[in-house]
Amino acid sequence: MQFLDFVKVMLKSFVLPRANKLILLLSLGFGWGATGFAQTNIPAKTEPGLVVTFTTPEGGQAKAADVVTAPNVWLYVPAGKPATPFLPGGKFEATWEGFINAERRADYQFQAELSGGLKLEINGAVALAATGNGAATELGKPVRLNRGLNVFKASFTSPTNGDAFVRLEWKPKDSFVQLIPTDALARAAEAPNLAQAEKLHQGRALFVDYRCVKCHAGPAPESGMLELTMDAPAFAGIGTRRNYEWLARWIADPKALRPTAHMPQVLHGPKAKAEAEAIAAYLASLELKSAKGAAGTLLNVEYEGSSGPANTTLAENSSLAAGGRELAETLHCAACHNLPGATEMDAAKIPLLHVREKFADGALIGFLMKPDAHYAWIRMPNFKLSEDEANRLAAYLLAAADKPKSASATQDVAVLERGKKLVQTSGCLNCHVLKLENQFATKRLADLTGANWKQGCLAAAHGETSKAPNFNFTAEEREALAAFGATDRASLMRQVPAEFAERQTHELNCRECHGKFDGFPSFDILGGKLRPEWSRAFIDGEIKWKPRPWLEARMPAFALPQRAEGIAQGLAMSHGYPPQTPVEPAIDAEAAKVGQKLISMVGGFSCVSCHAVGEFGATQVFDSAGINFARTGSRLMKPYVERWVRNPQSVDPTTKMPVYFDETGKSPLGDVYGGDGAKQIDAIWEYIRLGDKMPPPPTP
């Protein structure tokens, strides 16, 4: 089967709706896996990562397939759960294809921690073939890698019972078994069948991102993708928080104010402007009657209404503003925003020059202090600002912002009534919550057939007479939504944490700080590092201490329990680890005692030079403080600790932590466990597991 034929088959399967059938139906006999990705030629251009093809047996000979990219041969799929949203749960196969890059000609051996079957082929030769039941496999035979790219293919079959997982590792000659560095793996830049699959993923993501299901009712939101529950800013009391004039312009054309806005242009035609003003006037009339009662969850209710400092007062306080500017830098606000005075405006970032027009007097401070007060899924995180900090930031932003136009909302009852009616009938209430009867209705998702996915909201052009909201989708986005619409949309009901985490961390711009700033842990290692339980609590803002107190920046709270949990678990699973830390044996007190000595300056590695142990301060910190050991056991996965202690620079090339063990794992401390490095690291781990109860190390 040639590739074009394959595409045709795929497309055909999209346009013919088939109840209870999966999206992609392919004939196994034509052997997609066998020829579709047979990359015998080294491409001129490569991208990082590998192409992964997932397939599930679909009765007889047919297979359903999905194609994604992944950074490494890491995977974790709980028993019975789908490996990707486009496949049903249960048995599956996964094939990673691409290239493995060697700096120079050398021999390597491969090994996997595995539950399932794995066959690894390099340059067409089998490098590892093993079935694992959860433990590490034997090392494969040495394979010679040529300098540069070597053809790489790893095929995984899920186990009959239990969770499926794989974590592939390699052992360079004369060294130890370690993770394959992600930058050693590459895939061809052009992979057409991938592009088509990515289109489906994109369509599905757009579908939830733009809240399509809020109008086109579909599956019960609680049982499918978490994003089906995504909200929009609540209307209650919005008149106290937003300025009328800005509301009117926003409602008329959100994208004109913010190119990345998700809210559609709902009003069209000659009356649109007046209608927008009517809606705005109505919304502006929705004031908080009792700040305390209506916003009981707010941290600082006094600023919710107009009792806080007026915008003008703050904007004119230049010393506050100067402090705010400094704080904005410290907090890396520029990761997501175009800060005032920025020389280059990034279209993907949110501008800030409108804040004075947008926020009612006093409301910006309230927003900064609790951005999610009225909008749970807001992307802006909570920086746990003190009131003083919020004042400074607000002063800085307001001082630089454009001055509001002094239009005030009409009090004309007829206009307000008209605005109210429009809110009830235009679909506003499908996304925005307000205690008000919603009189808008449209087709249910199940009733949207092929042709529907090119009309209405998805029409190429929205004329003056259009009734459908205009999301300003690009042609590419419309195509993606159409492709997704042509599937059975069962994927909406499949919450796959790894994929959720990938999408959400992208939405939340995690990589704009992690990996870009000195001293921040790189985002790409987090899933294989942090215990998902701790990671969840940290993302959700529950952890009250800073792991790295020396950093001026702070990790904000992306407080939304289900999202935090999904990200935390998904990150772990995308690195091949389970969504919950497996039950661990009781702490080995004897080993912990040895560990206590090993971290000390008395016959140990002198870890305490840089690491504190609870109240026991680090002894010789020279620009390289380490994290307090008492706060390590609850944070880190054990395999990560092993990797880190064994060779810290293999995890973080910028760390000052020394390497103590030689390539064979021998420790320079020959008098503890006969110099067995692995046992010594185990002992340190047992000691660290004591957490708050760690006894202080011996001192010289």
Q: Considering the rule CB under 8 A, would residue 170 count as an interface residue with another protein?
A: no
Candidates 660, 662, 650; CA nearest to 169 is 650
668 binds another protein (CB under 8 A): yes
Collapsed DSSP state (helix, strand, coil) of residue 253: coil
Closest CB to another protein among 263 and 599? 599
* CA–CA–CA angle 282, 286, 287 (5° rounding): 140
In the numeric block, the tokens 């907090």 are attached to: 331
Contact status, residue 436 vs residue 420, Cβ threshold 8 Å: yes
Of the residues 103, 190, 329, 590, which one makes contact with another protein according to CB under 8 A: 103
Closest contact distance (angstroms) between CB of 327 and another protein is 21
User: In this chain, which of 621, 638, 665, 678 binds another protein, going by CB under 8 A?
Assistant: 621
Interface with another protein: number of residues (CB under 8 A) = 40
Q: Which stretch binds another protein (CB under 8 A): 160-168, 248-256, 424-432, 599-607?
A: 599-607
Of the two residues 380 and 621, which places its CB atom closer to another protein in the complex? 621
Q: Indicate the residue among 124 and 668 with the shorter CB distance to another protein.
A: 668
- Pick the closer one to another protein by CB: 580 or 649: 649
The single residue among 610, 613, 630, 688 that binds another protein, judged by CB under 8 A, is 610
Work out whether 27 is an interface residue with another protein (CB under 8 A): no
Helix (H) or strand (E) holding 77: strand 74-77
Q: Which is nearer to another protein, 16 or 602 (CB)?
A: 602
Of 398 and 610, nearer to another protein (C-beta) is: 610
Asked if residue 698 binds another protein (CB under 8 A), the reply is yes
Which one of residues 669, 684, 688, 690 is an interface residue with another protein (CB under 8 A)? Answer: 669
Report, in Å, the least distance between residue 597 CB and another protein.
Answer: 8
Q: In Å, how far from its chain's centre is CA 490?
A: 22
What totals of helices (H) and strands (E) does the chain contain, helices first? 23, 15
Give yes or no for residue 619 binding another protein (CB under 8 A).
yes
- What the block records as the tokens of 353 is 């020059």
The piece of 65-73, 102-110, 131-139, 157-165 that touches another protein (CB under 8 A) is 102-110
- Cβ proximity to another protein: between 459 and 621 the closer is 621
Pick one of 439, 603, 693, 695: the residue that binds another protein (CB under 8 A): 603
Interaction of residue 78 with another protein, rule CB under 8 A: no
**Residue 196 interacts with another protein (CB under 8 A): yes or no:** no
Q: Which of 1, 28, 106, 678 binds another protein (CB under 8 A)?
A: 106
Dihedral sign computed on CA atoms, order 355, 361, 366, 372: negative
C-alpha span between 59 and 491 (Å, rounded): 19
Residue among 35, 131, 146, 386 that touches another protein (CB under 8 A): 146
For the bound state, the minimum distance from the C-beta of residue 591 to another protein, rounded and expressed in Å, comes to 18
Burial of 121 (0-12, 13-18, 19+ CB in 10 A): middle
Lay out the site mask for another protein across 515-534 (x = CB under 8 A, - = otherwise): ---x----------------
Measured from the CB of residue 169, what is the shortest distance to another protein in angstroms? Answer: 21
- For the record, the structure tokens of 65 come out as 């397939």
Q: Are strands 46-48 and 185-188 parallel, antiparallel or unpaired?
A: antiparallel
Q: From the list 12, 18, 147, 403, which residue makes contact with another protein (rule: CB under 8 A)?
A: 147
Q: Which is nearer to another protein, 605 or 640 (CB)?
A: 605
Q: Please report whether residue 344 would count as binding another protein according to CB under 8 A.
A: no
Per-residue interface string for the shown chain with another protein, residues 643-662, x marking contact by CB under 8 A: ------x---x--xxxxx-x
| Residue (27 or 620) nearer to another protein, CB | 620
Q: Which residues are CB-neighbours of 67 under 8 A, at least 6 positions away? A: 51, 52, 53, 54, 191, 193, 194, 196, 197, 198
Which residues contact residue 562 at a Cβ distance below 8 angstroms, ignoring those fewer than 6 apart? 226, 229
Of 101-109, 125-133, 263-271, 311-319, the window that binds another protein (rule: CB under 8 A) is 101-109
Instruction: Tell me the residue type at 485.
Output: G
Report the alpha-carbon distance of residue 148 to residue 186 in Å, rounded: 11
Q: Pick from 591, 596, 536: which is nearest to 569 by CA?
A: 536
Among 606, 611, 612, 613, contact with another protein (rule: CB under 8 A): 606
Q: Taking CB under 8 A as the rule, does residue 134 contact another protein?
A: no
Residue entry with tokens 């909302």: 409
Query: Which CB atom, from 11 or from 659, has the smaller least distance to another protein?
Result: 659
* Dihedral sign, Cα of residue 460, residue 464, residue 470, residue 473: positive
Alpha helices in 225-295 (DSSP H): 238-241, 244-252, 254-257, 272-284, 291-294
Letter string b/e over residues 581-612, b meaning 16 or more CB atoms within 10 A of that residue's CB: eeeeeebbeebbebbbbbbbbeebbbbbbbbb
544 binds another protein (CB under 8 A): no
Where does residue 173 rank: exposed (0-12), middle (13-18), buried (19+ CB within 10 A)? exposed
Neighbouring C-beta atoms of residue 60, cutoff 10 Å: 7
Residues contacting 461, CB < 8 A, separation 6+: none
Show contacts with another protein in window 371-400 (CB under 8 A).
Answer: none
Binding window for another protein (CB under 8 A); candidates: 290-298, 358-366, 385-393, 667-675:
667-675
Among 8, 12, 105, 403, binds another protein (CB under 8 A): 105
| Residue 620 binds to another protein (criterion: CB under 8 A) | yes
Alpha carbons 155 and 161: distance in angstroms, whole number: 18
* H helix or E strand, kind and range, residue 573: helix 561-574
* Residue 623 engages another protein in binding (rule: CB under 8 A): yes
Q: Which is nearer to another protein, 192 or 668 (CB)?
A: 668
- How far apart are CB 656 and another protein at their closest, in Å? 6
Q: Using the rule CB under 8 A, is 604 a contact of another protein? A: yes
**For another protein, the closer CB: 234 or 601:** 601
165: its two tokens? 């997982």
| Interface residue list for another protein (CB under 8 A) | 103-106, 146-148, 173-174, 518, 601-606, 609-610, 619-624, 649, 653, 656-660, 662, 667-671, 698-700
